[in-house]
Amino acid sequence: MLNLEAIRTAKVSSNPYPFCVITNSIQEDSLSNVGSFFPTISHPGSIPMESVNYEPIFGQLLAQLEGDEFRQIIEEKFDIDLHEKPTMVTLRGLMRKKDGRIHTDSKTKLITVLLYFNDEWNSSDGQLRVLNNGQDLDNYVAEIPPLLGTMVIFKVTDNCWHGHTPLEGKRLSIQLNYLIGDSAKNKHQFFHKLSAKIKNLFTSNY
């Protein structure tokens, strides 16, 4: 399902930190199938894969994302050793106004992979910006619409600032992270699952 050749040959930019964008990361004949089977997300925030139900075809895509060939491509592109490094996959489906604020990813993460699933994107808001600093959302080197099949990969560094302008509503994405170790994975999973349970409780009560 993944267009591994397009991912393999995509250029990595080094400014302001190592990142690359692949607009055709999913094979064309798989786009409509995979996009239509994105799991139903009923509340905002990062949702652990273990907390959602999904169709087998979506599971096939996830298996390839976490597979050895994709991992090897990332290792080569970003000159990093990911051998036996654990992965964590989360989903996003709904955005709040507070989402997208400028941030860097946790130091427990080595690589972040974002894969988008929106059939169209007509808003100027909600487009990921690769930022030059942690203060100015308008000081960016790239702005990426979250369209179906678009993938963003970046190395987690002290200056991997990114974010997007505020948006409320539907915005579908997978986030895959390679982590520094199992303890980091356990910690992330605990907090994501706890957060998901709280949001489910809140949604059911209100």
Q: What is the pLDDT of residues 39-92, one digit of tens each?
A: 999 889 999 998 899 999 999 999 999 999 999 999 999 999 999 999 999 999
139 has a pLDDT exceeding 70: yes
What is the structure's pLDDT at 32? 86
What are the chain's domains?
Answer: 4-205 (2.60.120.620)
First to last CA, the chain: 39
Residues in CB range of 144: below 8 A, 6 or more apart: 21, 127, 128, 129, 130, 150, 152
What is the structure's pLDDT at 191? 53
> What confidence tens digit (pLDDT) does each residue in 119-136 have?
999 999 999 999 999 999
> What confidence tens digit (pLDDT) does each residue in 3-16 have?
999 999 999 999 99
Tallying the residues shown for the chain, one arrives at 206
What is the structure's pLDDT at 184? 61
Place 33 in a pLDDT band, splitting at 50, 70 and 90: confident
188 has a pLDDT exceeding 60: no
What is the structure's pLDDT at 42? 86
Q: Concatenated DSSP letters for 130-160? A: EESSSS-TT-EEEEE--BTT-EEEEE--TT-
What is the structure's pLDDT at 35? 87
- For the chain, give the mean pLDDT: 90
107 has a pLDDT exceeding 90: yes
202 has a pLDDT exceeding 80: no
Q: Strands 47-48, 19-22: parallel, antiparallel or unpaired by DSSP? A: unpaired
201 has a pLDDT exceeding 90: no
Sign, CA torsion 40/173/3/31 = positive
What is the structure's pLDDT at 203? 47
